[in-house]
Structure 1
Amino acid sequence: MEWMKGGFWITTDNNCLDIKAIHDYLTKSSWAEGIDLQTVIESISHSLNFGLFDKNKKIGFARVVTDYCTFGYLCDVYILEAYQKIGLAGWLMKCCHSHPDMKRLRRIMLVTSTAPWLYEKCGYTAINRDSFVWHVIRPDIYKNMG
């Protein structure tokens, strides 16, 4: 699928993605610091991906790990700093949620420490219930792999 807005466009076509640019961003991010290229390649191949472009320059990304019918986990969402604060993040989320496979999901989850205000605008609510959501977390996993 594709969406257009001015000179910007979003696509779910994995062939259009710049894997190296995505890897370069993620390896410096707060949530995937040090991630290796092969892990990025595999994660993209197992997800519904949304690449955001300014003409042919890749400027943003989001991916959804999903079974395509009941559950999705939104992650790796970013917009390059030079393109922030002009409404592109909200548009990227709107496009993600308008995708037919996303529309049928019963539950979509995400983890964020950087942009809760964005996700609230998109209908997400914080889960602040005791013993409701559980996880195993290894924040330094990519730094410790050899």
Structure 2
Amino acid sequence: MKFEEPVSPVDAPLDRIEISTDPDRIDTDLVHDFLSRQSYWAAGIPRGTLERSIHNSLVFGAYTSDGHQVGFVRAVTDYATFAHVMDLFVLPEWQHQGLGKRLVEAILTHPKLQGLRRWSLATRDRHGLYARYGFTPLSEPELFMELCPYRAASSSRDA
């Protein structure tokens, strides 16, 4: 049996990358590995938690012509008034080629997400990417609050 190497970024022009919302195509192993080991926002996320988040979100995967997943983003939404963009990542070897932009454009233009009253997201380091699509810092941050029991539990265990 011959093992085929995945298509490399050099061999796959960005216009040949497919963006799909089919949750059955999501490579949960790849997404879990990236989020739990390489992201600052979901470090250590349990696999079961990730699986529930995928099941309960509108997910977008980016795939090479040979079907390998190279990017991911999801929308947490009620499909009527809001959507929160979460977990956007592009594998390191595919970064700086515009794939993150393609994923943002795919999520913002998806037919089921049109006419929403509010989009939101949180980022530590990609403000420039999202600003080009109209995202701004909160105009009234005093209106927003958060509850992060996972973060509080992690902090108390580390003390």
Q: Tell whether the structures are fold-level matches, with TM greater than 0.5.
A: yes
**Structure 1 segment 56-95 matched on structure 2, within 5 A:** 56-95=67-106
Name structure 1 gaps, 5 residues minimum. none
Task: State whether structure 2 residue 84 is matched by structure 1 residue 50.
Answer: no
The aligned residue for residue 131 of structure 1 is 142
Aligned to 1:17: 26
Q: Which residue of 2 aligns with 1:122?
A: 133
Percentage identity across aligned positions? 32
Give 1 or 2 for the bigger CA radius of gyration. 2
**Equivalent position amino acid for 1:73 in 2:** H
- Structure 2, unaligned stretches of length 5 or more? 1-13
| Larger fraction in strand | 1
Distance 2:18 2:145 in 1: 36
Q: Which residue of 2 aligns with 1:36?
A: 46
Corresponding position: 1:110 with 2:121: yes
Question: What is the aligned partner in structure 2 of residue 101 from structure 1?
Answer: 112
Q: TM-score, normalised by structure 2?
A: 0.82
Q: Secondary structure at the match of 1:6?
A: helix
Pairs aligned (count): 140
Matched AA of 1:33: A
Q: CA deviation at 1:105?
A: 1.3
The amino acid across from 1:32 in the alignment is: A
Higher helix share: 2
- What is the TM-score of this pair, normalised by structure 1? 0.88
